[in-house]
Each structure stands twice: as structure tokens, then as C-alpha cells.
Amino acid sequence: MKKILLIRFSSIGDIVLTSPVMRCLKLQTGAEIHFLTKDVYKGLVAANPFIDKIITINKAVAPVLEQLKQENYDFVADLHHNLRTAQVKRALAKPSAALDKLNIRKWLLVHFKKDVMPHIHVAERYLNVVKSLDVTDDGKGLDFFIPPADEVAVDEMPELRKGYIAFVIGAQHFTKRLPNEKIIAICRQLDERVVLIGGKEDAPNAELINKALDGKLFNACGKYSLLQSASLVRQAKKVITHDTGFMHIAAAFKKEIISVWGNTVPALGMYPYRSGHGPNGNGTIVEVQGLNCRPCSKIGFDKCPKGHFKCMNLIEEGAVVRAVKKSDA
């Protein structure tokens, strides 16, 4: 194999979860590794030393097909497996393998609460796509690389240099996110400085949370880029997070992770991967057990389909606080 194309268009978490494929392919085959993704996610892999070339699209793949043909790949690893990746593979007509998304099994879990998932992490299923190339799991977990220009100089910030807990307050979908009142109650019981992590869309909630706590938190939501926020996560003592992309970034940095789960469940295979802390190295998982409506989706909703939002409203704040304080005792 001289040249291999990897395809994963989105999103933050999934692209981070494909990082073992990039590393293992490069180090075990020595091939030139190209990565095809959406332009908006290019920054996630721009500093990855195991990728030789990044090719991006906006939405359609047609504009880059001729460029891809000119590369004359030896193999295509389809880590997304949708209509657009099928279009790419058909145009290139090269040997390929694709991710098994297990859609039927996920459907059974979501709609009938019948768990027939294989109980291996998604990161390992990504690696299975290239097993025909004699590529094996090196056991090193996830990677995430931050360019030096995006590192936040925490040591020069008096309010943070003594250490802090990073709290990722956002999530792509409402049903994956704790209500503000829960976040406030958790932060009020923590002894250390808390840094709120999130994008511009999380800034209004962050302001409300910080105001309720008399401005005692460090609100980074919307004030730092994604890569700069990743730097803040990397330098945190511990990370509290929902089921979101930053959970996987934290796992790549081997942080101690306390993950809080709402409408989704770890059985779908997206829990923190080999963070090095907690049971099996997957951190501490906080969730409401025994709800017959959970999971209600493999992704999430803008509002609770049942109207009660018990999966988050019944989360015990003390369980999160105890998990944070446990190793400090």
C-alpha cells in the first residue's frame, strides 16, 4: 500500500474517534495517508502528524472527484458509509472497506430497548475497517493535536494557574444537556475553580450559570476557538462533560472524565475511550438507570419526546460531585 484515503465527513466526536485508524495505518503500513472531510472540520486534523494530506468538501463530493482520481489510491477506508462516500468509491473504483454502522441493532435498542449491540467501542469498529490491511490496534487510544498557536497559556492566568475543573456545558442536542439548575447545583458544591467550556451557542446559558454563582466561575464559552477550548480541557485537572465531542477530546488527553448521560446510552458505543481513569479506563459514567424511555434516540432531540425529561431531571447532582471529589479524598 502506497497511498490510502480515509473518509469521515463529520462530526467532532467521530473524527476524533477515527484518530487510531490514522495513527495505526501510518505507523504500521508506512503508506501516504489522505483524509477526506468537511471543510468546517479541517482544523481538527490539521496538526495530526499521521495525515499527509487533507482534502475537504462543503457538502457535495462532485467538486473533488477528479482530484481524488488523480491521486490513484491503493485503498479507500470508508469510515462514514453514506451516499456520498458511495459516490466517491464508485468514482475511484479502488479496493475499499466500509464501517458497519449497525443501524438495525441501534434501531432495536432505541425503539424496543433490546440490546444486541456488540459491546465494543466505536473507535474499535473504525479500526476493523482496515483489518484486511493487517493493521492492528496498538492500544494507545485516541489522539488530538493542538497547534502551538492555539495553546492557551494557563500558567499566565492568575485565576486558573492553580488548577481547575473543566465543565463542558453544551451538547449538540437539548436532550443530551443538563438543565442550567443542575449545572449550577453541581458547581456550587465543587471546591475548585470551574471553567465553563462551550461554543458561542452556549454563551447565554453560561452567563446565566455564572451569574447565579456570583461570577465565581471562569466562563470560556464563546470566547475561545474550538482548539483553544481543547487546550483548556487538556490542562484541566478533571473534566465534567455530556455525551459530546469534547468528551472524546478529553479522552484523547487521558483526562479524568465524569460523563453525564441523558437520552443516549453508553451501550451505543460512544462512551469515553481509554481515558485511563475509572472502570476499564472509561471514566465515571453518571446516568439514570431503569428508565423505560431511554434511549429515545441514538443522537438526540430539541426537546424531550415524553415531556418530562427524566433522563436529565433525575440526575443526582451529588453523584457528579462525589465522582469529582473521589480521587481528592
Q: What is the CATH number of the domain that holds 13?
A: 3.40.50.2000
pLDDT in tens, 23-47: 999 999 999 999 999 999 999 999 9
Whether 139 is in a domain gets the answer no
Whether 243 is in a domain gets the answer yes
329 pLDDT band (50/70/90 cuts)?
A: very low
Averaged pLDDT, 247-259:
98
- ∠ CA 189-238-209, nearest 5°, is 45
Q: What is the pLDDT of residue 327?
A: 64
Decide: residue 291, CB within 10 A, 0-12 exposed, 13-18 middle, 19+ buried.
middle
CB 264 within 8 A of CB 237: no
* Nearest-angstrom CA–CA distance, 135 and 153: 38
Q: What is the pLDDT of residue 316?
A: 97
Q: What is the pLDDT of residue 1?
A: 82
Question: Domain check: are 101 and 201 in the same one?
Answer: no
Whether 307 is in a domain gets the answer yes
Decide: pTM greater than 0.85.
Answer: yes
pLDDT in tens, 162-215: 999 999 999 999 999 999 999 999 999 999 999 999 999 999 999 999 999 999
Question: Domain check: are 59 and 198 in the same one?
Answer: no
Question: Domain check: are 178 and 299 in the same one?
Answer: yes
- Would strands 284-286 and 3-7 be described as parallel, antiparallel, or unpaired? unpaired
Question: Domain check: are 103 and 154 in the same one?
Answer: no
Range(s) of the domain holding residue 179: 148-326
Question: Domain check: are 105 and 171 in the same one?
Answer: no
Give bridge partners of residue 37 from the DSSP assignment: 56
Question: Domain check: are 106 and 196 in the same one?
Answer: no
Q: What percent of the chain has pLDDT over 70?
A: 99
Place of cell 479524568: 256
CB 253 within 8 A of CB 232: no
Give bridge partners of residue 175 from the DSSP assignment: none
The C-alpha cell that represents 210 in the structure block: 455564572
Question: Domain check: are 126 and 196 in the same one?
Answer: no
Question: Domain check: are 201 and 239 in the same one?
Answer: yes
Q: What is the pLDDT of residue 250?
A: 98
Residue 326 in this model has a pLDDT that exceeds 90: no
15 pLDDT band (50/70/90 cuts)?
A: very high
Question: Domain check: are 34 and 94 in the same one?
Answer: yes
Question: Domain check: are 168 and 38 in the same one?
Answer: no
Question: Domain check: are 221 and 320 in the same one?
Answer: yes
> Which of 133, 162, 189 lies at the terminal end of a domain, its last residue?
133
Q: What is the pLDDT of residue 264?
A: 98
Average pLDDT score, the chain: 97
Whether 143 is in a domain gets the answer no
Whether 164 is in a domain gets the answer yes
- ∠ CA 299-222-297, nearest 5°, is 5
Q: What is the pLDDT of residue 6?
A: 98
Question: Domain check: are 170 and 264 in the same one?
Answer: yes
Domain count, the chain: 2
